[in-house]
Amino acid sequence: MSQSVASLDADVLILGAGAAGGAAAFHLAAAGHRVLVLERDGNERIKPCGGGMAASVQQWFPFPLAPAVEEVIRRVDFSWCLSDPVVAELPGSAPFWIVRRERLDQLLLEEAMAKGCRIERGFGVDDVQRDGEHWCVRSTDGRTVRGRAVVIANGSNSPWPARFGLGPSSLHLASTTSVRLQGRGSLQPGAARFEFGLVHHGFAWAFPIADGVNVGVGTFIGRQADSSDTILQQLLPDLGFPSDAGLRQTASLRVWNGHERLDGDGILAVGDSASLCDPFLAEGLRPALMSGCEAATHLNRWLRGECSDLRGYSIGMRQRWGDSMAWGRRIAQVFYRFPKVGYQLGVKRPTAPQRIAQILSGEMGYGDIAQRVIRRLLLQRR
């Protein structure tokens, strides 16, 4: 038997209080809907995330994200096997931010709660079921809540997109190891570092935060060999840290793997659960925030009866993100198979620093890069 709308626990149940869930929660609550966020963890966990994101995401929020921003990046240093350096100066007009992830997630949630959103922590979602016209979500300890709609936002390990036929049927996983270090080592203020060459089929990064550095290793093709400790042993001294410094966390990251439907009947997948992360540079925060905002726009219309389904969400994400990721995937497949050639011809090109800055700032998509390369090849053949 389905229940009346008033007797439901919320209009929208959001599974997970990460960047994607928080963005959706804020915009839905701000539009006047009853929102309940269900989060498994307490708010003290250190999230394995570099925290790098284009400052342009600010345009999607009416409140400042600055309280979560710990560094503004003006310069990116690249290296190949710790040598052959390339420096990209980022123009001040298109900055790249480093946020402390826990703080960003908390900030989004606080802003959502100020608009009336509720959160239940310690609610590990164990089951999601259609119940007549509504949705019923059960926790691992047997609590149940009901809502008109569900936003799946519980990250890369979520089983729910597959259960409801959302997102790619075949998952592409990047393997990551991350370390949060105390102190800045040799990293210059306002500088981030990317290292290619040491990592087979991937790269390593070092992003500064207020009192430390987030260092990580990511592999984008195949599984990470057990070499991340060996890589960190070489990389950390180069960054001015002892080779065994920091606590290591490993995580699998779902990356974009094809245009697929992300909406069902009163249900949507956002962020990592929807496999939106960039398959070339592992940029997942911007698509998480973008998809949370886009999901809220379409859910708002649907809840108000202005549209009969949530199809517009999948279409919107394809146009705003998926089309660029299709090119990003092709570029990743070539670059990570032939990384030395990629570094010489891509990163070391005279125009590369400007293009890299444009990609990191979100000004340019992979489709634009691919078109430029194709045009250059055609001109060379004439």
Ligand X SMILES: Cc1cc2nc3c(=O)[nH]c(=O)nc-3n(C[C@H](O)[C@H](O)[C@H](O)COP(=O)(O)OP(=O)(O)OC[C@H]3O[C@@H](n4cnc5c(N)ncnc54)[C@H](O)[C@@H]3O)c2cc1C
268 binds ligand X (CB under 6 A): no
Among 21, 95, 168, 208, binds ligand X (CB under 6 A): 21
Q: How far is the CB of 377 from ligand X (least distance, A)?
A: 30
CA distance 133 to 302: 14
Q: Which of 137, 110, 146 is nearest to 34 (CA)?
A: 146
Q: How far is the CB of 217 from ligand X (least distance, A)?
A: 8
Interface region with ligand X, contact rule CB under 6 A, candidates 50-58, 111-119, 185-193, 326-334: 50-58
Tell me which stretch binds ligand X (CB under 6 A): 48-56, 70-78, 87-95, 319-327.
48-56
Among 68, 209, 253, 347, binds ligand X (CB under 6 A): 253
Would you say 53 or 293 has its CB closer to ligand X?
53
Under the binding rule (CB under 6 A), the answer on residue 238 touching ligand X is no
Which of 178, 275, 314, 324 is in the footprint of ligand X by CB under 6 A? 178
Nearer CB in complex with ligand X: 40/329: 40
User: Any contact of residue 120 with ligand X (CB under 6 A)?
Assistant: no
Residue nearest to ligand X (CB): 284
Closer to ligand X at the Cβ: 49 or 299? Answer: 49
| Of 20, 109, 239, 295, the one binding ligand X by CB under 6 A | 20
- Least distance (Å) between residue 215 CB and ligand X: 9
Interface residue with ligand X, options 41, 131, 323, 363 (CB under 6 A): 41
Cα distances (angstroms) measured from residue 185 to each of 70, 80, 171, 188, 217:
16, 20, 37, 9, 18
- Residue-level length of the chain: 382
Binding to ligand X in span 155-174, by CB under 6 A: 155
CB of 39 to ligand X, least distance (A): 5
Size of the site for ligand X (CB under 6 A): 38
Strand partners, 177: 217, 250
Provide the minimum distance between the beta carbon of 20 and ligand X in the complex, in angstroms, as a whole number. 4
Is residue 52 near ligand X by the rule CB under 6 A?
yes
Q: Does 50 bind ligand X (CB under 6 A)?
A: yes
Q: Which residues bind ligand X (CB under 6 A)?
A: 15-21, 38-41, 48-53, 123-125, 153-155, 176, 178, 207, 216, 251, 253, 271-272, 277, 282-286, 288
